[in-house]
Structure formats: structure tokens, C-alpha cells
Amino acid sequence: MEPNLIEYLGYFASGLVAISFVMKSINKLRLVNMFGSVCFVIYSVVIQVWPVALINLFTIGVNLYYLTRKNIDTQVTL
């Protein structure tokens, strides 16, 4: 059985999430992880695996929160 395009998206998402954990910069980690989570959301919606979509939507929200909070904190301290 040959993998299709959506399976490759799942592998790509897995790779991005795994790579994000070796980043030294927390901002880069959050950005790469968030992009991987977006890919996982698309993948899981297509294959209709809703728990995977929900946890990755949550992860996107957490990453967005901390990325924007850090930017707001930086602006306030300047």
C-alpha cells in the first residue's frame, strides 16, 4: 500500500513537532511547533480524528498566547 499525500502531511507534521523540541530559542520552538500543529489539524480533520485536531488546536492557542504575551511584555519593559 502506497502512502498518499495526506499521510505525508502527517509525517511532515510529526517531523516539525519533533524538530521543534531541539530548538534553543523558545520563540523558534513555539513557531515551528505551531506550524507542525497546524499541519496536524489539517491532517486530523481530513482523516476525521477529532481528538488529535482538538489537542493541536489547543497547542496552537497556547503557543500564540505565549508568543504574543512575550511580545507585549517586551514592549512594556522598553
pTM over 0.85: no
Rg (CA), the chain: 15
Domain parsing of the chain, residue ranges: 5-77
What integer pLDDT is reported at residue 3 of this predicted model? 74
> Residue 55 carries which side chain, given as an amino acid letter?
I
DSSP letter at 11 equals: H
Q: Which long-range contacts link 20-29 to residues 24+ away (Cβ below 8 Å)? A: 27/67, 27/70
Distance from C-alpha of 37 to C-alpha of 68, rounded to nearest angstrom? 17
pLDDT tens across 4-61, in order? 999 999 999 999 999 999 999 999 999 999 999 999 999 999 999 999 999 999 999 9
Asked if pLDDT for residue 1 goes beyond 60, the answer is no
State the cell numbers at 18: 519533533
